[in-house]
Structure 1
Amino acid sequence: MTDIQTSTVSDEGFASTSQVGDFNLAIDALDEAGPNPNATLVATYASCFLPAFRVGGQKTGFDDLGKIQIDADAVLDDADDLVEISFDVYVERALSDEEFAEITALAEDICHVHDAIRDGLQADVTVVGGAF
C-alpha cells in the first residue's frame, strides 16, 4: 500500500497537470503554463524545510521564531540537471549562530525532502502502451 498517490496528465506538449489530493498543480518544462519541474522541486524543498526549521526551533526551546522566509537558489548544469541548491533563511527572531546551527541541523533531519534528495532515490518505472 502506498502513502502518497498523484496523477499527472499531459494531453500534448510539455505542460502537465498533477492532481495531488484535492489540489491541481500546473508544471511546464517550458515555464509557460506553470513553473518548470526543477523550480517546483526547489520550491517544494524550501516548503518542507521551513516548517522543519520551526519544529527544530521548538525542539531547542524557541517556540516563536516569528516570520521566516527562505530564498532558494539553484544551479543547473548544461543538461539542465540540478547540481546545487542553497537556502538563505531569514528569521525574525535574533538568535546566536550556534543556536541557528543547532536548529538547522534538526531541520535537516526533520525535512523529508532533504532526506529524499540523495543518490539512489529514483522512481521504479513501468510503461503501459495503448492505455487510452
Structure 2
Amino acid sequence: MTVGNFLGGTLSDWRPMAFLIGALLTLLASLLALYYAEPHVIPAIVMILIWGAIQFAAGAPLQSRIVDQAAAAPNLASTLNQGAFNFGNATGASLGGMMLTAGYTYRQLPLASIIVTLITLILAILSARLDRKHRDARIAEQLSVL
C-alpha cells in the first residue's frame, strides 16, 4: 500500500484524471485476476499485494483533486475527503459481510468489488468530461473578451 501511495502521488502529478481513470482500469484487471488467483495460495498473496498497491495509488490523485477544486477551503475539503474514504471502507466491509452472510464465498467478493469499481470509473469519466466542458467554456469566454 505504501508503494502504491508513493507511485500514485508521483504519477498523478503528470495528468491526475488520466492517471485516476487508468488506475481504476488497472484496479478492475487486478480484481479479476484476484478472483482467478484466489484458489491458489501464492498467486492469491501476490494479487492481494498488487491490489493493495493499485488501490492506494488511486488515493493520491483523489486527494489532490479535492484540494485543487476547493481552493477556498482546502483543509475542510480534505477532511471531508478523508471521511468519504472511511465511509467507503466501512461500506465495503459491510457489503462483504452481507455477501458472506447471504452465502456467497470469499472468492466472490472481488466480483462485487468489480461492480463498485465500475461505478467509480463511470463517475470519474463523467467528472473528466465535466472538467473538459468547464475548461472549454472558460477558454471561449476568455476569447470572447479579446
TM-score normalised by length of structure 1: 0.34
More RCO (CA 8 Å, sep 6+): 2
TM-score normalised by length of structure 2: 0.32
